[in-house]
Amino acid sequence: MTRGCATGVLLERDDETSQVARALEQALDGSGSVVVLSGPLGNGKTALLRALSRHPAAASFSVLHASATSMERDHAHGVVRQLLDPVLAAAPAEVWEGPAAQAGPVLGRGDADDVTQSVHIGLLALVRNLSAAKPLFVLVDDLQWSDEPSLAVLELLAGRIRHLRVVMVVTVREGDPLAERPAAAAVLAAATRRLRPRPLSPAGAAKLVRAKLGRECDEAFGLACHEVTGGNPLLLTGLALAWAVGDEPPTETNAELVRTVRPAQVRERVVACMRAQPEPVRRLLKAAAVLGESAELDVVSALADLDEPSTAEIVRGLERLGLFRGTGFAHPGAREAVDDLMTAGEREQLHLRAVRLLYDLGKPVEAVAGQLLATTTPQGVWAVEALRDAAHVALRRGAPETAVAYLRRALLDTSVDGQDRATVLVELASAERLLDVNAAVRTLSYAIALLPGPRERAAALIRLTPAVMGDAPDAVVSILRGVVDEFGPPEQLSGVDRDLSLRLEARLRFIWRTEPWGLAGTAARLDELQEAEWTDSGAARELLSVLVNAAALTASVPARRVAVLAEQLLARQPASSTHSASAAPLLVTALAAADSPGAVAGWLERALGAARQRGDVVEQAMIRTEQSLVHLVTGQVAEATRAASDALDLGAWDSGSVGTSAAVVSGAVALQLGDPILVDQVLASVEAERGNPCLVTVTGLLRAHAAVARGAHAAAALTLTDCGAHLDRSGWRNPVLFPWRSALALVKLKLGATCDAIALAEEERLIAEEWGAASGIGRTLRVLGRIVGGDRGLELTGRAIEVLRTSAHRLELLHALRQRAEFTECPDSWRSCLELAEETGAQRIADRARVALGFSAPSSASGKLTRSEQKVAMLAVGGRSNQEIAEMLDVTSRAVEKHLTNTYRKLGVRGRSELAEALRSVGSTSPGLMTR
C-alpha cells in the first residue's frame, strides 16, 4: 500500500523530502543525523519513508530498510537483521575486522541468543565499517514496535551518528505507549529533525481519490471525502478503494453517501493498532465505545476502572494516535472497530454496568435509556420508568423513532399481562401513530385488552385520532363499542366523562363511515351538537369534524353548511399542532368537496412548515397529499401534480403509515388529474392494503382509468360499475370527490350506449345540485353536453361554464371551455381556453388551443424537458439501461429514475415503450380521460 501516494507520486510532502535530502548531503561530508517522521495512525509516514528510499539524493547511499511489527517484538535483533542481512551478503570481508567481529552471533556467526553489550558494540562497529565503504541511509518503519535488542543497537547508533556517514530515518506512531520505552525515547531524543506529515489539503485529497478510483470525480465529492477523513491518507485510501467496489459514480449527487462508507481495510488497521495497546488503554477504548455520546471523562474513568489522571493521560495518547478527538472517537470507524475487541457477553456486561453507573450519577435519562437499548437482560420497574421518561423527552424534541425504540425496550421489563404493560403499550401506540398508524392501532389493540375499567380503556382509545382509528381491527372496534355502551349518551354525562364519551363517539362514527347505517343520522347529530350548550369543547369539535367529513362524503348536508362549519372548526385548530393527532385532515377534505378551499391553503402551508421543523415525514406526506387536493380544486394543475408526487416520494406510504384517508384523497387527485405516472404511483402505493374496502374501491377506479387510457372501454365499464355500486352501498355519493357516474357515462358513450350514458349523467347532476357545490354541478352539465352533442350539448356546455365561473375549480372550467371551443371551433373560445390553460399549467390543453388558433405548436415534446431530462430520455430511447445511463452521465441510478419519472409525467406516457413517439411529437390526449 502506498499510503499518502497517488500512482507512485507523493502528494504534498515536498517540505519533508527536501529536509531529508539536506540531511543526506550533510552525511556525505561525514555529519550524520537522525530524522523522525511522527504523527497519528494513517498520516502517510510509511508512504513517505518508502518514497525517500527512491529519492535522487539517496543514489550515493546504501539503503537499509526495516519494518517493525507488533507480532515480532519478541524476535531478538529482528529489526537489525532486516537492516543488515541484505547489505552484508555483498559486503567485503574487511567490514568484519576489529570490534565488528563481536557482532557475529547476531548475524549467523556464533550464538544467536547472545545479546550482551559487546555484541551491540560489535554491531555499531559493523555499521561504522559499512558506512566507511559507502554512506548508509537507514530507514526504520514503526520504531515503537522494534524488539528491545534492536532498540538498544539503534540507541547506540543514534548517540554516535553525528560522526558517521549515516542518515537514520525512523517513523513513530504518536501516542503509542511502546514509543515511550527508554531506548525508543533515546532514539527520538537524538533527532536533529522531527517532521510531522500534515493531513492532505482538499485538493490533495481529491487527487488521491481520483488516482485510487482511476477516474475523475466531482469537486463536491472530493470535498466530502476530505471532510469525512480530515485529509488522513489512510482513511482517504480506504474510502476510495471501498467506493471503487460499488456501482455509484463519484458525483456531487453521491457526496452525502461518503459518510456511510466503512472501509474494511481501515478497520483492520485500526483494530490492529488497538490490540497492540496496553490492557488499561483497551479497557478505556471499550468503555468509551459502550458509552458513546455519554462518554464524559468521569463516567469513562469509572466504567474502565481507572482513576481520572490515568484516564486523562490515556486520552491524550489516543488523541496523538489519531483515534480520539476530545473524549470521543475521531471517526465512526474507530468506534466500530472496538467491537472486534469485545465478545457479545463482555459487551452486554459493560452496557449493564454503564446503565447503573449513569443512573447512579444522575446523568440525563436518555443516556440511561440508550444503554438499556443495548441490553437484553431485564432490569425491573426502575428501568421501565427511566425508559418512559426518556421516551417523553424524545417526543418533545421531535424524535418519535427514538421514543418508540425506548418504549419497545421497556416492554421487556413489564409483566406479561398486567396494567403496567398496558400503560407502556398505550404510550407506545401514541408514539407509533407519528410513524406508522397501522402499527399504532395494532399496539393499542393489545393494550386495551389489559386495562381494567371503561374509563382507562376510553383514555387509551382516544390516544389515537378518529382518522387513525378508521383502520382499527374488529377486536378494537368491538371493545370501543363496549366502552361507548358503558359510558352511555354524552347528554347524560358531565365533565371528563362527557368529553370521553364524545371522543369515543367520534372514533366510532369514523370507523362506521363506510356503512350506510353508520352514516345515517349525520345531519340530525350535527343539529343536536350545535344546539347543545357544550359544543365549544375540544371533544365536541372533534366529533363535529367527523360529522362534517361524513356529511361531505355522503352529500347529505348542503355544501354551504358543510363549508361554514368546517371553516369554523379549522380556525380553532392551530396549524403548528401535530397534524396526525388532529381532525384537520377531515376538514380539508370537506372544504375541498364543498368547493371552498380558500381558508385551507395558507393553513396547510403553515402546518407543513411545522412538520418539516419537527422532521416528521409521515405528517409531511399527509399534508402534501391534502395540498394536492386543494391545488386541484383551485385549478393549479402543476402544483397539484407536484404535491401529490412529493407526498408519494417521501416514502411514508411504503408501510401504509399515512393511513387510509390520505390514500383515498391521493386516489381522488390522481383520478381527476389523469396523470398516468401519478396513477401508477398511487396504484403501487395502495396495492399493499387491498383488504381495506375504501382502498379496494380507490384501486378499482384507478384501474378503470388505466383501462380507458388503453382503449379497453368494456373492461373499464365493468370496473366502474362495481366501484360505483360499492360507493353507493357505503353512502359515499359526493360528486366532487368521486364522480364515477360521469366517468362511466363517458365510457358508455364510447361503447355506443348513449341512453345509459345520459341516465348516469342525469343522476349525477341531481346529486350534484342537491350537494350544491358549483364544481360538481358544472362538471355534470359539461358531461351531459358531451353526451348529448349538437345545439343542446352546446347549450349545456354554456350553462356549465356559467356555473363554473362561480367555482374555485378552474380546471373544471378549463375542461368546459375546451369543450365549447371544440363544439364551435370559434377562435374567441379557443383564446379563452388557451389563456386559462396557461394560467393553470395545463400544458397539453394549451398546446391543443394553439394548434386550433393556427399558432406553431412545439415541434418536439422534449421542449418541455430540462436539458438533463432530454439527455436521459434520448439515452433511454437508444436502449440504454438506467445503470448505463448513470455511468455515462456520472449520476446515480436514483437520479436517472427521477429524471425518467419527470419525463414520463411531462409527456403523459407510461414508460419507455411510449417514450420515442412522445419525443417525436406532442400527443393530443390530455389528462383526466375518465371525467371528460
Helix or strand or coil: residue 791? helix
**Residues 164, 16 share a domain:** yes
The mean predicted confidence, pLDDT, of the chain is: 85
* CATH code of the domain in which 152 resides: 3.40.50.300
**Residues 546, 443 share a domain:** yes
Distance CA 584, CA 570 (A): 7
Q: Is residue 245 part of a domain?
A: yes
Predicted TM-score (pTM) of the model is 0.65
Q: Is residue 491 part of a domain?
A: yes
Domain boundary among 529, 557, 585: 557
The parent domain of residue 245 ranges over: 202-261
What is residue 171's predicted lDDT score, i.e. its pLDDT?
Answer: 96
**Residues 212, 182 share a domain:** no
Q: Is residue 706 part of a domain?
A: no
Q: Is residue 56 part of a domain?
A: yes
Q: Is residue 311 part of a domain?
A: no
pLDDT, tens only, 91-141? 888 888 888 888 877 776 555 455 567 888 888 888 999 998 899 999 999
* CATH code of the domain in which 922 resides: 1.10.10.10
Q: Please report, in angstroms and rounded to a whole number, the separation of the first and last CA atoms in the chain.
A: 69
Cell of 339: 467491537
Distance CA 580, CA 466 (A): 10
**Residues 24, 161 share a domain:** yes
Whether residue 930 has pLDDT greater than 70: no
Q: Which residues contact 879 (CB under 8 A, 6 or more apart)?
A: none
**Residues 138, 230 share a domain:** no
Burial (0-12, 13-18, 19+ Cβ within 10 Å), 228: buried
pLDDT, tens only, 254-309? 888 888 887 777 888 888 888 888 899 999 999 999 998 767 888 999 999 999 89
Strand locations in 4-115 (E):
5-6, 9-10, 33-39, 62-67
Distance CA 59, CA 75 (A): 31
Whether residue 2 has pLDDT greater than 70: no
Distance CA 535, CA 537 (A): 6
Distance CA 878, CA 446 (A): 56
pLDDT, tens only, 514-566? 788 888 888 888 888 877 665 678 889 999 999 999 999 999 999 999 999 99
Highest-pLDDT range among 326-335, 522-531, 672-681? 522-531
**Residues 207, 100 share a domain:** no
For range 361-386, the mean pLDDT:
93
CA distances from 715 to 500, 670, 709, 931 (A): 48, 20, 11, 17
**Residues 229, 172 share a domain:** no
Q: Is residue 632 part of a domain?
A: no
Number of domains in the chain: 4
Distance CA 58, CA 635 (A): 79
**Residues 206, 190 share a domain:** no
**Residues 70, 40 share a domain:** yes
**Residues 75, 115 share a domain:** yes
What is residue 108's predicted lDDT score, i.e. its pLDDT?
Answer: 65
Q: Which residues contact 828 (CB under 8 A, 6 or more apart)?
A: none
Whether residue 152 has pLDDT greater than 80: yes
Domain boundary among 536, 557, 578: 557
Q: Which residue's C-alpha cell is 425491573?
A: 380
**Residues 256, 150 share a domain:** no
**Residues 458, 474 share a domain:** yes
Q: Which residues contact 150 (CB under 8 A, 6 or more apart)?
A: 68, 76, 77, 78, 79, 80
Domain boundary among 261, 281, 299: 261
Q: Which residues contact 838 (CB under 8 A, 6 or more apart)?
A: 846
For 869-901, give one letter per residue: b (16+ CB within 10 A) or e: bbbbbbbbeeebebeebbbebbbbbebbebbbb
Query: Is 383 in contact with 351 (CB distance < 8 Å)?
Result: no
- DSSP letter string, 663-728: HHHHHHHHHHH--HHHHHHHHHHHGGGTTSHHHHHHHHHHHHHHHHHHT-HHHHHHHHHHHHHHHH
